[in-house]
Amino acid sequence: MNNYRKRVVDEMGGQRLIDEGARTLNSLDSLIAGKKLRKPTFKMIITAVGEYAYVRKEDGIMVCPLSSLKA
């Protein structure tokens, strides 16, 4: 993550915690917008387990299991 774009990443696991992380990321995004800073390029929640990555339809947050972040 060494380019100039901002990213907001939260590390969570389980659906309840994913929803909680999404609320946190969205409130942080609102706070950033209120300060007239550049918005993050994307928002992502990294989970400990899972079979595949997906994008939440309701808010556009990426949910990605750690195992899918292989180089």
pLDDT digit string (tens) for 22-67? 999 999 888 888 787 888 889 999 888 888 899 999 999 999 988 8
Q: Is residue 26 part of a domain?
A: yes
Number of separate helices (H) and strands (E) present in the chain: 1, 4
54 membership: H or E segment, kind and range = strand 54-55
Range of the domain at 36: 7-69
pLDDT of residue 8: 61
Domain count, the chain: 1
Amino acid identity of residue 10, one-letter, is D
- Over residues 7-31, the pLDDT tens digits come to 666 555 578 888 989 999 999 888 8
pLDDT of residue 11: 58
User: Torsion over CA of 28, 6, 48 and 68, rounded to 10 degrees?
Assistant: 150
**Distance, CA of 29 to CA of 51 (rounded, Å):** 27
Average pLDDT (1-6) is: 50
**Distance, CA of 5 to CA of 51 (rounded, Å):** 28
